[in-house]
Amino acid sequence: MRDLDITEVAQQSGVPASTLRFYEEKGLIASIGRRGLRRLFDPGVLERLALIALGRAAGFSLDEIALMFAADGQPRIDRQMLAAKAKELDRTIRQLSAMRDGLRHAAACRAPSHMECPTFRRILRAAASGTIGARIKRAPQPPRN
Amino acid sequence: MRDLDITEVAQQSGVPASTLRFYEEKGLIASIGRRGLRRLFDPGVLERLALIALGRAAGFSLDEIALMFAADGQPRIDRQMLAAKAKELDRTIRQLSAMRDGLRHAAACRAPSHMECPTFRRILRAAASGTIGARIKRAPQPPRN
DNA sequence: GTGCCACTTCAAGTCGACTTGAGGTCAAGA
DNA sequence: TCTTGACCTCAAGTCGACTTGAAGTGGCAC
C-alpha cells in the first residue's frame, strides 16, 4: 500500500487535516515526507489514529497517549496504566448509572414538584455530599456538526 | 435559620467563594442583600447549589441548568429533558462499559504486544469505526487540589 | 509558462467553567 | 480613630483539544 497524503488520511480516518497537523506537532503521529509542501504518511498512521481515538474514548489525554508510544514508534502500553484507567472508568460508570436512575425516576415521578419527591431529595443529598464542589469531567459527546 | 454570608455558604457547600460569585453573575443563584460589601444568602441557596451540583454531575451545562429555574426561582424541570438526559447517559454508560472491558482485557492479556491480541484489535477497529473523529466529552474527574 | 488552488506555516481564537490578580472598600477589633 | 484583613469589582488568565484566518508556496492541468 502506498503512502497517503494528508487529505487521504483525513478522508480514510475521518480526522480533519487540521487535527492531523496538530497531532503531528504534538508528536502523536509522524509524516514520512513531503510531496512539495504536502505531507505524506505511511498507511500505518491509520492504525495509530485508531489507537489515539481508542485512548481518547477511554479518557486518556493526548499527553498521556503520547507517552504510550515509545521512542521507536511502537505502542508500549503499560498494563498497570490500563488497569488503573479501567478502575477509574468503572467508578465513573457506577456514578453515571446512579445518576441515570435518578433522572429516570425524576422524569417518571408523579410528585407535583421534584422537591416533594423523596427519591429526588435523596439524590439531591447524595449530590450535595459527594459531588458538590467536585470537578467534573464529561463523558463522550456527539460531534459538533 | 439566619442568612449566610458568602464565606459561610462556601464552607457549608464546599463551593469556593469565587465560584459563588461566578454563579451569581450567571444567574444561577441570587444573593438577598449585603452586609457592607459582603453578599448575604438565604440558606435555601444550599439546596440550590446541591441542585446545580446534581445537574452538573448528570452532564448538564450551567446554561442548561439556568434554564431549569423559572423566573420565580422555583426549579421547573422538564421531565422530557430529564428522560432525554437519562437516555444519553445510558448510551454513554454502555460505551464506557465496553471501553472498560477492553482496557481490562488489554491489561490482563498475555500477548507479547497489544497489537497481537485479537481482542485488542477488535476494540481498536470499533474505536476506528465509531469513535474516530468524534468529539469527546469526559466523565467526572477528581478535584484539582 | 502560468494560473489555480489545495496545501503550507504561524498566530490567534474558541469553548466552558472557573481562577487569579490588581486595586478598592468597609465592618469590626484594638 | 486607625488598622487590619476579608470581602469587593473587573479584567484577564488557564486548561485541553482543536479550529480559524491570513499570508505564502508549489505541483499539476492547460
Q: Determine the Cα–Cα distance for residues A88 and A121; give it in Å rounded to an integer.
A: 27
A78-105 burial code (b ≥16 CB/10 A, e <16): eeeebeebbebbbebbebbeebbebbbb
Nucleic acid strand D: bases within 7 A of protein CB:
6-9, 16-20, 24-28
Q: What is the DSSP letter of B123?
A: H
Q: Do A82 and B107 touch (CB under 8 A)?
A: yes
Instruction: At B4, give phi and psi (nearest 5°).
Output: -115, 140
User: In this structure, is the CB of residue A85 within 7 Å of any atom belonging to strand D?
Assistant: no
Q: Work out the widest C-alpha separation in chain A, in whole angstroms.
A: 69
Q: Determine the Cα–Cα distance for residues B13 and B50; give it in Å rounded to an integer.
A: 8
- pTM for this entry: 0.84
| Residue pLDDT tens, chain A, 145 long | 689 999 999 999 999 999 999 999 999 999 999 999 999 999 999 999 999 998 898 889 999 999 888 666 667 778 888 898 899 889 888 888 888 888 888 888 888 888 888 888 888 887 777 644 444 555 444 333 3
**A122: which residues sit within 8 A by CB, 6+ positions away?**
none
**Mean pLDDT score of chain B:** 84
pLDDT of residue A123: 83
Q: Determine the Cα–Cα distance for residues A112 and A55; give it in Å rounded to an integer.
A: 44
Q: Do A128 and B74 touch (CB under 8 A)?
A: no
Work out the pLDDT band at B63, boundaries 50, 70, 90: very high
With a cut of 80, say whether residue B139 has pLDDT above it: no
Q: Determine the Cα–Cα distance for residues A97 and A66; give it in Å rounded to an integer.
A: 31
**How many Å from the CA of B71 to C1' of C10?**
47
The cell 468529539 sits on which residue?
B135
Work out the pLDDT band at B25, boundaries 50, 70, 90: very high
pLDDT of residue B130: 60
**How many Å from the CA of B28 to C1' of D7?**
21
